[in-house]
Chain A
Amino acid sequence: MALQKNPDFGTPKRETETLVTLEIDGQVVTVPEGSSVMRAAAEAGQSVPKLCATDTVEPWGSCRMCLVEIEGVRGTPASCTTPVRDGMKVRTQTERLERIRRGVMELYISDHPLDCLTCGANGDCELQDTAGEVGLRDVRYGYDGDRHFGDKAEAKDTSNPYFTFEPAKCIVCSRCVRACEEVQGTFALTIQGRGFQSKVSPGMKADDFFGSECVSCGACVQACPTATLTENSVLEHGTPTRTVKTTCAYCGVGCSFNAEMQGDKVVRMVPDTEGGANEGHSCVKGRFAWGYATHKDRVTTPMIREKITDPWQPVDWDTAIDFAANRFKAIQAKYGKGAIGGITSSRCTNEEVYVVQKMIRAAFGNNNVDTCARVCHSPTGYGLKTTFGTSAGTQNFKSVEQADVILVIGANPTDGHPVFASRMKKRLREGAKLIVADPRRIDLVRSPHIQAMHHLQLRPGGNVALLNSLAHVVVTEGLVDEAFVKERCEDKDFERWRAFVAEDRNSPEALAQYTGVDPQEVRGAARLYATGGNAAIFYGLGVTEHSQGSTTVMAMANLAMATGNIGREGVGVNPLRGQNNVQGSCDMGSFPHEFPGYRHVSDDAVRGAFEADWGVPLSSDPGLRIPNMFAAAVDGSYRGMFVQGEDIAQSDPNTRHVQEALESLECLVVQDLFLNETAAYAHVFLPGTSFLEKDGTFTNAERRINRVRPAMAEQNGMAEWEVVCRVARAMGYDMHYNSAAEIMDEIARLTPTFAGVSFDRLDNEGSLQWPVNDAAPNGTPTMHMNGFVRGKGRFMLTEYVPTEERTSRSFPLILTTGRILSQYNVGAQTRRTENSRWHEMDELEMHPFDAEERGLADGELISIQSRMGAVTLPVKISERMPQGVVYTTFHHPVSGANVITTEFSDWATNCPEYKVTAVQVARSNQPSDWQQELADIHETHYQRMAEPAE
């Protein structure tokens, strides 16, 4: 479509059912009470000129451009700060207003450079547009303003890799400052100086943008009405000419974006104000870190090789697909049908994931399909299905606007889910109370205008003990919502749970030996959660990646049910999903025991429906989970694997074991953008497509199904789902679709929760939150409103069972892992962007006391060793860490964080226990043995033969 900009109504929409009717330029307009005259006028199609107003921030009333006349009101009030009243009569265009606006504009332009033709915002400048609108023809004050011209012009700040700050172009409208405060919530920007010396400043006087608190979310750039803050890509290429509406491929927030293009080149990604998940906001990854899609490392030609030490040989698609299929068939002939399987990707679309699991079930003839959710949110699926009846979060993100108490446990949203964190922080600034349960002092504990009322700084591994102690307080202090429980929950299970958590051994005092948290702090937090109004839980991998991950999810569900915090807006139990399509990949039947829609493979009726549709008998036996695949590979019973868009050699725990498993395979097929760490062990490389080339859907953490639309042609020449279909056909199973839309039609046909979903509906309606079916034809923003999906909610007993991973004299510290803002997961995407400037390497964070005890100075190289292995990293001394706990990220392969992590996993789902590893740390001066071996592998396993000449 042609370039399509979101309309700007000048001031934010007000959410009330009370309406006000007024007259604007003779036209009758009805708008919500509290709306500004400016917004009412814009909604009526009578836009008022403006400079300091934009509808993502509250009105400011400084530019004096939006003046109007109101019958019975003296003077010319600013329409942005004047609320509508019933019966009001407004005139937006009179001779007097025209004269005043032109005069104001004349003053602005007297101190603004007039290099419009060569300006980066030429054609996309609100100042330019407004000067035109008000008919400015002359500037009586001259053009040599005090600070904007010639030698007086202040130098540009080009420190940020993604945008340029040109102070000379600034009209001091404060839109950027307000966007940083109100939209992003970072408060990095301010207006420094007075009068003509006023200018936007990032933090302290000496700071540039890169060195400041700025998190590069892009909200300021988007808000700027001039060329003061401009994307470098626009400066380099010029203004875009067409728009493609699509969805971000980073975290599980699933932000909607307008990809603004010139031909097939992305000029910029602009967050879509109509996007339900993000409502016009973005983070540094989605907004700016899309350059990996056209990075030189991208492999776009299929490749094969006999042995993993051979050089890669570029071939055509048919050769690569036949090679893979023949090897898979030979393995099955030799070792049996169950000797092959595959892994689906949470970075791929629902349609791409669906065809991979279908290929495995129908063409491979077994259920050996698993997905990367195994190593992140599989306990969410188990825990929420057991207690509530469905494997998904309960709310939409907007629901947080109704929360009065927010419990964040095992999540670091400002880094991992930044756009949701901004929504949450906005609600906190409005007065909601915050409880943080995390071993580290994450930013949410205390940051500008945010202060957690309770930071429950528990020991890694103590989640269940902490939640049981919170529940103990709720039960023993009479804080249970008895009416809710009686009406909505299984009585017998509740009474049993009530007796269980009421036992003294579950009191905060008794469990403090495991949690390490002051019992009074726990009691205060429990009382706040139970009595503070709408209480919402948001959690992440700090909950799930434990030996009791599933138990913790159920303990949170218990707490929410006991206090009646489920089934309406503002409450709920909400997983913050790591990758863009974790929810979707699970929905699509990626687990080895479930068909799409979370239905067990042993269910004859369900299996029968798939067999009838797919025309092939299907196995009723659960398949291998990822860790089982590795074990079976090592023992020789599993010999072939199809890996879609995941880098298991980097992301999965116990790296040496994973490497051994991959090395033992007779056929490993990797479908990816890059030759990642897993590809070192592959025999076939099938080039994939980036999100900018895909046609399909992603489902985010709020169950929102969003369209992903191709902005450019597939760089590899073939859609990923088509490649998979061809592999299936080469294996002897006829799988064929004409389009991704056809795949969704099949999903809808076979999956009750998706029954009402189609590309046509998504294109017309924007997005839909499942379930979408006869009972909920327009989707389900809030789950369990009139009863739980399973009927009545089920309280589960959540006995605290300490992990087997224990500290000892040899390994006295606990390592926990996580991510940071600028990098994403294994870093395959973000490491190939300028984001690496913020995080060039992984570091080990350590408390000053622990560092001093070992004689370590900040930045020194250290060896971190567990019973599984050792790696060398620089140490970062940080008071965010509690004593006895160290922390690292896993964004760089060379760091080898998972060389250290163990084989321990969640009892119900085998989700690895990434968050608890006993380690020792000591000074080092060289890479570990594993890191040296990795360097050798990079020398020997990635060689490529030259492509044949055309």
Chain B
Amino acid sequence: MSDNIKDLVRMANQVADFFQAYPEEEAVPDIAQHIRDFWTAAMRREMAAHLAAGGAGLKPLALAGLQLADKDSKAA
């Protein structure tokens, strides 16, 4: 895993750690919104590639939020 991906995975897991206090149906869209609001397109693309490769290192809640953000961006 590259240093960049390690950083992104850590950041995503941290975001998920904050939202874990909320019910999953709220936490997942909130994580996705956070990623959309603050991550650059390049960061999101890099994470999308990591998700496609299995998303190693991501906590389940982070994974769900990132997948939703990825799905929305592809739909847009």
Contact = CB atoms under 8 A, between A and B. Distances in A.
Contacts of B38: 593, 622, 625, 908
B42 to A, nearest CB: 7
Contacts of B7: 627, 631, 903
Nearest to B17: A801
A635 B17 CA distance: 28
A632 B43 CA distance: 10
A534 interface: no
Contact of B18 (A623, A631, A632, A801): A801
A500 B37 contact: no
A500 B42 contact: no
Interface in B12-46: 14-15, 17-18, 20-22, 34, 36-43
B50 to A, nearest CB: 14
A138 B8 CA distance: 84
A627 B10 CA distance: 13
A551 B14 CA distance: 11
Interface string B39-66: 1111100000000000000000000000
A600 interface: yes
A622 B14 CA distance: 19
Contact of B39 (A338, A622, A634, A798): A622
A628 B4 CA distance: 9
A556 to B, nearest CB: 16
A801 B11 CA distance: 14
Nearest to A551: B18
Of A625, A628, A801, A804, most B-chain CB atoms within 10 Å = A628
A907 B37 CA distance: 14
A636 B26 CA distance: 37
A624 interface: yes
A637 B42 contact: yes
Contacts of B20: 799
Of A338, A622, A635, A798, most B-chain CB atoms within 10 Å = A622
A207 interface: no
B30 to A, nearest CB: 11
A416 to B, nearest CB: 27
A500 B21 contact: yes
Nearest to A367: B40
Contacts of A637: 42
A635 B22 CA distance: 36
B4 A908 contact: no
A40 B2 CA distance: 74
Interface residues of A, number: 30
A624 B11 CA distance: 14
B28 to A, nearest CB: 15
Contacts of A625: 38
Contact of A797 (B11, B21, B36): B21
Contacts of B42: 338, 632, 637
Contact of A593 (B17, B37, B43): B37
Contacts of B14: 547, 801, 907
Contacts of A487: none
B16 to A, nearest CB: 9
A797 B17 contact: no
B21 to A, nearest CB: 4
Contacts of A797: 21-22
A799 B38 CA distance: 22
A910 interface: yes
Contact of B17 (A623, A907, A910): A907
B15 A624 contact: no
A274 interface: no
Contacts of A632: 42
A486 to B, nearest CB: 23
B14 to A, nearest CB: 4
B40 A631 contact: no
Contacts of B18: 550-551, 799, 801, 907-908
Of B18, B37, B41, B42, most A-chain CB atoms within 10 Å = B18
A490 interface: no
B41 A908 contact: no
A477 interface: no
Contact of B43 (A500, A628, A634, A799): A628
A929 interface: no
A621 interface: yes
Contacts of B21: 500, 797-799
B72 to A, nearest CB: 12
B37 A600 contact: yes
B13 to A, nearest CB: 9
A550 B11 CA distance: 14
Contacts of B11: 907, 910
A844 B10 CA distance: 30
Interface string A787-818: 00000000001110100100000000000000
B11 to A, nearest CB: 7
Interface string A895-934: 0000000010001101000000000000000000000000
Contacts of A621: 40-41
Nearest to B23: A496
B24 to A, nearest CB: 13
Contacts of B41: 621
Contacts of A627: 7
A506 to B, nearest CB: 11
Given A602-B37, A627-B7, A907-B15, 6 more contacts: A550-B18, A631-B4, A631-B7, A635-B4, A798-B21, A907-B18
Interface of A: 338, 500, 547, 550-551, 592-593, 600, 602, 621-625, 627-628, 631-632, 634-635, 637, 797-799, 801, 804, 903, 907-908, 910
7 contacts: A547-B14, A593-B38, A602-B36, A799-B20, A799-B21, A804-B10, A908-B18
The 7 closest A-B pairs by CB, nearest first: A907-B14, A797-B21, A799-B21, A801-B17, A621-B41, A907-B18, A907-B15
